[in-house]
Every structure is written in C-alpha cells, then in structure tokens.
Structure 1
Amino acid sequence: MAATSQSTWRVRARLLVLGVVLVAFDAVAVAAAYVLGYLAVGLAPLLWNDFGALFGAGIDTGVLVPVVAVGTPVVLIAQSVFGYRMTLRAGLSDATDPAASSPDSIAAMRRKIDREETVQAVRDRVERLAHTADMATPEVSIVESATPNSFVASRPGERTLFVTTALVERLADDELDAVLAHELAHLKHGDSVVMTAAAFLPTVTDRWQTVAVGVLRRSFLTGWLFAGDDADARTLIAGQFELVLVVFALASLPVVAALSLASTACYRLLSRIREYAADAGAVAICGSPGAMASALETLTTDHRPEQDLRTARTGVRELCVLPDAIEAVDEADEADATSVAGRIGGGWARLRVWLLPGSHPDIDDRIDTLRDRQRAVDDPDESAF
C-alpha cells in the first residue's frame, strides 16, 4: 500500500513539474511571438524601398516582461479553448464515410443504424463505469476508423470520450470495459485537461512551419530551392511584399522549429507519464488488471505500426490508449526528396526521431505491470513475501 501511494505521488509530482514546464514553454512562445512581431515591423520599410529605415527602432526589452506576463495567461486560455476544438476536429476527421453519404443507399442506412446501436451500447457501458468511479458521464463519440483506439479530450465543463469502431469490434466485453475505464481514469485524474491544452502549441507551430514552407515553395525568389523541378509552383507574389514574406518566413522557421521540438517533447513526456497512472485507474474502476493487460495484448497482436509514428504529425496520437494515430499521415504531404528543401525536411524528420521521446511507454512494460497486479490479486499471500 505504501509503495502504491509513493508511486502515485511520484506520478503526480512529475505531472506537476511537466505542467510547470508547459507554462514555461508558453512564456517562451509569447516572447518568441514578440520578437517575430518586431521582425515583421522592422522589415516593413522594404515595402516602399526605404532600406535605410529597416529596423530603425531597436527592440524594446523593457516591454517584453509585461508582454509575457499578459500574453502567457492568454495563451493558456487559447490552449484550453482551441486545443479542445482542434482535438475534436482531429478525432472526428475520419468519421465521414463517403459510402454513407447517400440517403438512398441501403448499405449507408444499415451502417447508420449499426453505428447508432454501437454508440448507445458504448454509452451504456461508459455510464455504468462512470457510476462505479463516482464521476459524471462524459460525452461519447464513435469514430469510423480501421485503427482500434480510444482517447479523451476535455476542458473545464466539457469532456468527450472517443472510441473507434475497430476497437469495439475487436475487444471482448471485459477488455472493452477495461479500456473505457482507462479513459475515464484520465478524466478523473485531470490529466486529460492538461494533455488537451498541451496539444495546442505543437499543433500551432507545426502548422506555422507548413505555411512558411508553402510560402517559400510558391515564391519566385526561393522556388528554385523549395519547389525542386516543379516550375509551376513558383509565382511572383507581389514585388517587394514577396521579399518581406520570404525574409520573414526564413527568419521565423528556426525559431518556430525550436519551439515545436521543445513543446512536442514536453507533450510526449506528459503522455508517457500519464499512461501508467491511467492503467492503474482502470484497474481500480473495473477491478481486473488481467482484462486491461489482455486488451493491450489483443490490440497489439499483428497490429504494429508500419512507420515510426514519432515522425508523424502531432495530434491525437499522444492522447490515445495506444501509440497509433487514428488518422494516418497523407503520403502526398511527405517532403519532396527531389528538392534541396525536401532533403532538408527529411533530415529534420530524422533529427526529430533521434531527439524526441516516444509518445507512450513500452507496451510490453505496461502489460507486465498489469500482469504483476493480477498475480497479486489472485494470490495475495504470495505477493506479501
């Protein structure tokens, strides 16, 4: 009992430390935004060819402290609001099935009926488990996906539990209860709020990089480097305005890339730490360590990811019960290896693999821990020695 309590406190202490680090990253992000804003204003004289006025006013470091003091809480609020919305959008992105879009299709109608029955059945299970855990029942959404997985997204006052159709189809009743209890444990522990908010900064920085590279690929000035042999991708945007955009994109990329790397590392460390605590919480709710271990074994048998998901886009993956993305990375969006920029992008992806931690602890370690718990339940006298 003492060992379990000590372990719980260690997990909470780590979550607290990483939460503080997350806030620190927000403060750094605000400072970086201030510097990039100064860069944008300093480059503005290029629009009217006034080269002598470039960066005429030096950066006011005295304003930086109040900007960070005010901006950091604003970013935290944005994380709570927009991080939740982005997670919902990512989780539901695969829910649209083109085959089911026609109301005249008998197959589509049957699929809709089956889905409604599945949603109700899962909601009944979640309601029963939530009652056992003495907590409010969250919203339940079923995602049409061939990947068996589940995750929760939450912010104060709003909580949603996502379950894929493949998960419901693949697991036995006791295994499904264990996985749902695992997700409810995330909600009860409160780490789902932190994780949902933590997804905001990695996602925003990733999108910023995508937009900046897109500007450079389409620019007449840098298209030869970023568009490779695709001459059609290069267009003259608008004279001096294009020059400002190109310089700003080039200057912002290293800053945003560093923020992306640091915030993603923090996000994944949070994800790793929370899984063991949620496994233990699932056991407390459903009462069967063996069921949770069996569910993990079932979901990982012949279901190893074909690519290293640490290089895939940041998003729902870190929230999932398994380190498999619910939505796959579109191969058409991969970097073009024929261009210099494409090769640089490939090198950046490999560097991320080397530097970033995995988003989840090793599945075998989680299963072994749960099996040890089950043996302790089955033979308490032996476990005491």
Structure 2
Amino acid sequence: MNKTGLQLRMAVVGSILFGLYLAAAWFFHLLFDIDLMILVLLSIVLLPAGQYKLGKWLAVRSSGAEDMPEDDPRYRKVHQMTESLCRDMGMEKPRLMVAQMGVPNAFATGRKGAGIVVVSEELMRILDDDELEGVVAHELAHLNNRDTVMMTLGQSIATVVSYAVFFVVQAMGEDGPGFLVAWLASMVANFLVMLLVMAISRYREYVADDTARQYVGSGDPLARALEKISRSAENRESAVQDSGVNALCIFNGDRSALQQIMSTHPPTEKRIEKLRS
C-alpha cells in the first residue's frame, strides 16, 4: 500500500465520519431546537478538548512514567537522537519520559509542540541505537502528524453519533422501542463508527512508519526493532492494563479476528514487510 493509497483511504473514511457527524448534529438541531453553532462548539471543540486533556493525563499516570533525566548517562543518547530528529522534522522537542512497562514498548501522546514520548526501560535494553532511533522517529511522526488529536476527534464523533441514534430510537413514539432497545442501538452505532476510526488509526501507523523511514534513512532499523519487540513481548504480560495506553504503543499484539478489526495497529508482519519493500 503506497502513501497515496493510504492518504486516499484516510480521506474517504474521514469524509464518511464527518458526514455522520453532520447528520447527528442536524438531528439534534431539529429535535431540541438547539442552535447549530452551539452544537458544533460542544461536540467538535469542547468534547474532544476534554477527552484529549483527560487521555493525556491518564496515559502518563497509568503507565507510571517519570521524566527522563537528560544528565543521566543511561538516557543521554535518547535525548540526543530526539533532538536531532526534531531538528530535521522542524518540530519542538517533546517531553521525554521513561516507564517500567513489563514489555519493550513506547508511545507518544499529546500534540505537536506539547507532546510526550514515553519509552520503556525494557525497550532501551533490547534495541541497538539505530533501532531505538527508528522507534523514536515513529513516535515523533505521530506528534508531528497530530495523530492523537485526530483519533480523539474520531472518538468524539462516535460518541455524538451514538447519542443521536439513542434519541432517534427513543423518539419513535410511546409504542416504539423502549430504553433498552435504544441503548443497544446506540452501542451498535458506536461500534460501527469506531470501526472507521480504528481503520484510520491503522493507516496512520503505516504513515508514521514511512515517516520514520524517511528521517532515519532506511526502514530496516525500525523493521528490526519491531521484530525484536514482537519476539520479546511473546508470553509476557504488559504491566500497563489501560487499553487506551496500549492503543498508543508502537506494538499492539492483538491477534484474534475481532481484535484485528478493532485494533489501532496493522499486523506487525505487514508493517515489517512494508518497511523493507
């Protein structure tokens, strides 16, 4: 899948999501006679902003991350490679943090100019310098592309659509479906919209991999890193139980059919193949 194909798919899925949001907003406008601009403010500005702030705080807290001291010899190379990559990417250096995650992993949260990159101690122990640089470049690409913000916006649209479906079913009249049916319908709607959101997330992983390849100079270091991470994670339990944090991590080991459909990451073997193609 080339970069143009990825961008086209993201544009199509994004347009569908935006169309669903407009339909939901118009329904609330008709049903409750609420000004359309107020609805836009609440659902596209305030709701995502609240989810973004809470998600960023929870990601750091639930992973047990702590600041990575720049004067500590163990982390000096991480700071140096991050500063070099940030100069090349034209972005501010994010806050670097370190965590004991039980498995080798890393994740980024926040946005460009106010981002955080968390690297696990386990990851730094198993990777060579060029492999670690590939992982850091991947996480910086997420910040530079504002992926966390975009995913938060997608989740907000899913919430708005699910509430709209709930009220549509409830508004069918006194003899219509009851609360339970309306609630189930809203859950189904949320699930279907999140399928689209997860699809965009998987496309963005490919884009972040490709961006890392460009700035590192080759896709092989990141491909080797993913191979090592995958092998090291086998039969090991992550110390981080927050599904939101695991969704941010560079490696997600979901393997069942349903998990792959709802996964934020494409299969690792496909990412490795693409990096080396």
TM-score (norm 2): 0.74
Q: Deviations over 1:290-315 (max 9, x none)?
A: 111100100001424789xxxx9752
Equivalent position of 1:316 in the other structure = 245
- Conserved in 1, the CA contact under 8 Å of 2:213 and 2:222? yes
Match of 2:174 in 1: none
Find the aligned partners of 2:243 and 2:158 in 1 and give their Cα distance: 7
Residues 1:135 and 1:313: Cα distance change in structure 2 (over 3 Å): closer
Tell me the distance in 1 between the aligned counterparts of 2:229 and 2:108: 18
Worse overlay, 111-120 or 363-372? 111-120
- Shift of the alpha carbon at 1:114? 8.1
Distance 2:18 2:24 in 1: 10
Listed one character per residue, the Cα deviations across residues 243-285 of structure 1 (whole Å, up to 9, x for unaligned) are xxxx75x355314312330232122101110122111111111
Check if 1:276 corresponds to 2:218: no
Map of 2:275 onto structure 1: 370
Aligned equivalents of 1:178 and 1:304: distance in 2? 21
What secondary structure sits across from 2:184 in the alignment? helix
Aligned-partner Cα distance in 2 for 1:29–1:306: 43
Unpaired runs of 5+ residues, structure 1, are 35-60, 98-110, 209-246, 326-349, 373-385
- Residue pair 1:140, 1:162 contacting (<8 A) in 2 also: yes
Q: Which of residues 172, 182, 192 in structure 2 aligns to 1:262?
A: 192
Quote the Cα distance in structure 2 between the aligned partners of 1:195 and 1:167.
Answer: 25
Q: Which structure is richer in relative contact order (CA contacts within 8 A, separation 6 or more)?
A: 2
Asked if structure 2 preserves the Cα contact closer than 8 Å seen for 1:18 and 1:270, the reply is: yes
Match of 2:173 in 1: none
Change (3 A) 1:305 1:316: farther
Specify which of 72, 77, 80 is matched with residue 40 of structure 2: 72
What amino acid is aligned across from residue 90 of structure 1 in structure 2?
L
Mark the structure with the bigger radius of gyration: 1
Q: How big is each residue's C-alpha offset from its partner over 1:37-86, in whole Å with a ceiling of 9 and x where there is no partner?
A: xxxxxxxxxxxxxxxxxxxxxxxx73557555532342121354223223
Instruction: Give the letter aligned to residue 359 of structure 1.
Output: T
Q: Is the 8 A contact 1:283 1:289 kept in 2?
A: yes
Select which of 275, 283, 291 maps to 2:221.
Answer: 291
Kept after mapping to 2: 8 A contact 1:296/1:367: yes
Distance 2:146 2:259 in 1: 30
**More displaced stretch, 359-368 vs 139-148:** 139-148
Identity of aligned residues (%): 24
8 A contact 1:317–1:324 mirrored in 2: no
Where do 5+ consecutive residues of structure 2 fail to align?
164-177
Partner of 1:145, secondary structure, is coil
1:149 to 97, 105, 111: 105
Write out aligned runs for 1:96-107 (5 A): 96=64
Q: Do 2:158 and 2:190's aligned partners in 1 also have CA atoms closer than 8 Å? A: yes
Partner residue in 1 for 2:168:
none
The TM-score with structure 1 as length reference comes to: 0.56
Correspondence list, 1:120-135, <5 A = 121-135=77-91
> Considering only aligned residues, what root-mean-square deviation do their CA atoms show, in Å?
3.9
Relative to 1, partners in 2 of residues 1:157 and 1:285: Cα closer, same or farther, differing over 3 Å? closer
In structure 2, how many angstroms separate the alpha carbons of the residues matched to 1:261 and 1:31?
21
Please state whether the residue corresponding to 1:322 is helix, strand or coil. coil
Note the C-alpha offset of 1:28: 5.5
